[in-house]
Structure 1
Amino acid sequence: MTRVVTLTLNPALDRTVILDVLRPGHVHRARSTRSDAGGKGVNVAACLADWGVPVAAAGLLGQDNAGPFEALLAAKGIADRFVRIPGETRTNLKLVDGTGGDTTDINLPGLAVEAGSLAAVRAMLREAVEPGTLVVLAGSLPGGVAAPIYAEIAAELRPLGARLVLDASGPALAAALAAPAAALPFAVKPNRHELEEWAGRSLPDRADVVAAARGLVARGIPLVVVSLGAEGALFASADGTDLAHPPATRVTSTVGAGDALVAGLVAGLQAGLDRTATARLALAFAAGKLGLAGANLPARDTVLALAAAVRVEPLTASA
């Protein structure tokens, strides 16, 4: 079975606060709170584990508060490949408007990382990879880690047969997309804002997003997925482009929905599904996550029912 490894260089303890209504400048009384071990790669691994995909989670953890991460990995049967470093992993605050479900994120700085710790992570990845391994490079970078790190890791792992799935933003995304063809990721999943930031221009219409995605495919990335929030997600490859429309879903929290979409994308790739079936599964993962707190999926039958309800619209060359 194809192996999956996720990389989270800047994990976080996500403190989620549910409010009746978020009103900037006002005093609020929380409806409820919860704390989850998170970070993009951790969340992806958690959803994959719920789906039954064997997965290892790697990256950097502050040794002073590693307990919640260790408990999550153990509970979900995720192989722990994190390197511990001195200090505490950051805490992020997520304010959820209980009326509309919108989330306001306050992300704190991460740990300062020394070269030796990063070298240990890279060595672990090289040892974990074999031909066909799916490696998810996800999330922001902590202090001391330069923007080209994902491009450098891709250059190291692609010759070993790994397929890289990238979910990043800003300079880290730009550096990875500017890499030579031999070091480009297999799949990339920006949202519209991240794609606009990379392109250096607004992409207000669907046609603009499609053109930008197809440009990345032409650059040499086999699969480009652009998440569009409530509009669904665009899936572009050399043999066509689909717009996947999400099913109607009760929203408990949007926290981690993008990570669940990445997990569904990876699950589809791991199972060898075609682009359309992968799009259905990715949207089903994201929709299923919307009804749950934390990085969790509902029962398998529920996810499959959601996948069947995803409408996939093939787009023409002029779309």
Structure 2
Amino acid sequence: MHNSHPRVVAVALNPALDHTLEVDQLRLGEVNRAVRMQVDVGGKGINVASCLADFGVATAVTGQIGRDNAAQFETLFHAKGIDNRFFYLDGLTRINTKLVDKRSGDTTDINMPGPTLEPEAIQALFERLLARIDGMVSPGSWVVASGSLPPQWPVDTYQRLITHVHSLGAHVLLDASGAAFSAGVGAAPDIIKPNRTELAELIGQTLTDANSVVAAARELLARPNAPGTVVVSMGGDGALFVNRKEALLAHPIPTELISTVGAGDAMVAGIVAAQIAGLGLSDCARLATAFAAGKLARLGPHLPAPDTVRALAQMVHISSFS
């Protein structure tokens, strides 16, 4: 029976359609002519599921999407063999606009907040979500909780989700920010993946260099109900992987840069794929970095073939902090 369960369930409470517009040079307050436009199904949880599916990991998605523009989501799920367990709401899934300046390489994000529901409707939907997760996970499964909460959702949403998933004997990776992240971290998720800014906000101090990030991660790991592993993505500086035994820096692989959108989500997918494969921290760091590098060369949440990703992982240089 348990063999039919997906190995990973990605929870996307606030997915989005990403409209990416490329311009040669963005000029604010003027008419800009787009060179190209692309519409991608997005939102952190869906990006994670998309990358895991590309790597051949059995993956399901749940959360909420709007009925009126669900077709593009369904097309992606069908194409990648992702098990669609979303709840459908009336109206549109939110649309996020990304403006890519080809000359500077900068991306400007304009993100919509998401659907607004009454508190009773949110509570009812959350309870249905937990019940649905009951039927999807088994001991040893992974649940990825990532992204922002929609407007009005209680700040303890991720915290309650993590506690519930742990009661089922499954594992959780949390990738969020702000108050929802802070509350969720207190429920001892197995792995968290903040970026440097999110970790600084969580710890309440400025993090200037890799040493200060490692110190902050170790401080977090020493708290009661702490996560098991802290992964901190630092963009061009690589990523830090810290557990109670070791702290490693995975250096980025030089790669063709097409779009940074979803690179952190690709890294999350790589971390989870590594857990499922039973890899240790250094091999986890290699695979997660390879996922991120593979994604950087593509627009949208897509990876090259699994063998290509594994070859990239062999190229990742790891250094250790004493």
Give the corresponding residue for 1:137: 145
Give the corresponding residue for 2:246: 240
Give the corresponding residue for 2:161: 153
2:69 counterpart (54, 65, 72): 65
**Pairing 1:195–2:199 present:** yes
Give the corresponding residue for 1:89: 93
Give the corresponding residue for 1:33: 37
What SS does structure 2 have at the residue aligned with 1:268? helix
The answer (yes or no) to whether the contact 2:221–2:243 under 8 Å persists in 1 is yes
Shift of 1:226: 0.2
CA distance, structure 2, for counterparts of residue 99 and residue 313 of structure 1: 33
The answer (yes or no) to whether the contact 2:188–2:228 under 8 Å persists in 1 is no
Please give the root-mean-square deviation of Cα atoms over the aligned residues, in Å.
1.3
What SS does structure 1 have at the residue aligned with 2:275? helix
The correspondence of residues 104-253 of structure 1 with structure 2, limited to 5 A, is 104-113=108-117, 114=121, 115-177=123-185, 179=186, 183-219=187-223, 220-253=226-259
Instruction: For 1:121, give the aligned amino acid.
Output: L
Task: State the TM-score, normalizing by the size of structure 2.
Answer: 0.94
What SS does structure 2 have at the residue aligned with 1:210? helix
Give the corresponding residue for 1:51: 55
Shift of 1:126: 2.0
Shift of 1:86: 1.4
Shift of 1:127: 2.0
Give the corresponding residue for 2:28: 24
CA distance, structure 2, for counterparts of residue 300 and residue 23 of structure 1: 39
The answer (yes or no) to whether the contact 2:195–2:232 under 8 Å persists in 1 is yes
The answer (yes or no) to whether the contact 2:22–2:100 under 8 Å persists in 1 is yes
Shift of 1:7: 0.2
- Of residues 114-123 and 246-255 in structure 1, the stretch that sits farther from structure 2 once superposed is 114-123
- The Cα offsets for residues 143-165 of structure 1, whole Å up to 9 and x where unpaired, read as 12111100011111102111100
Shift of 1:301: 2.6
The answer (yes or no) to whether the contact 2:238–2:251 under 8 Å persists in 1 is yes
2:303 counterpart (294, 297, 310): 297
1:99 counterpart (98, 103, 107): 103
- Of residues 162-171 and 219-228 in structure 1, the stretch that sits farther from structure 2 once superposed is 219-228
The answer (yes or no) to whether the contact 2:203–2:220 under 8 Å persists in 1 is no
CA distance, structure 2, for counterparts of residue 25 and residue 251 of structure 1: 28
Give the corresponding residue for 2:315: 309
Shift of 1:125: 1.2
The answer (yes or no) to whether the contact 1:135–1:165 under 8 Å persists in 2 is yes
- The Cα offsets for residues 204-262 of structure 1, whole Å up to 9 and x where unpaired, read as 12211111111222223111000000011000011100000011011001111111011
**Pairing 1:259–2:269 present:** no
- Of residues 15-24 and 143-152 in structure 1, the stretch that sits farther from structure 2 once superposed is 15-24
Task: State the TM-score, normalizing by the size of structure 1.
Answer: 0.95
What SS does structure 2 have at the residue aligned with 1:203? coil
Give the corresponding residue for 1:15: 19
The answer (yes or no) to whether the contact 1:16–1:94 under 8 Å persists in 2 is yes
Give the corresponding residue for 1:274: 280
The answer (yes or no) to whether the contact 1:50–1:76 under 8 Å persists in 2 is yes
Q: Which runs of 4+ in 1 moved over 6 A?
A: none
The answer (yes or no) to whether the contact 1:242–1:314 under 8 Å persists in 2 is yes
The answer (yes or no) to whether the contact 1:154–1:185 under 8 Å persists in 2 is yes
Shift of 1:128: 1.4
- The Cα offsets for residues 251-283 of structure 1, whole Å up to 9 and x where unpaired, read as 001111111011111110111111000100000
Give the corresponding residue for 1:285: 291
Instruction: For 2:126, give the aligned amino acid.
Output: L
Shift of 1:142: 0.5
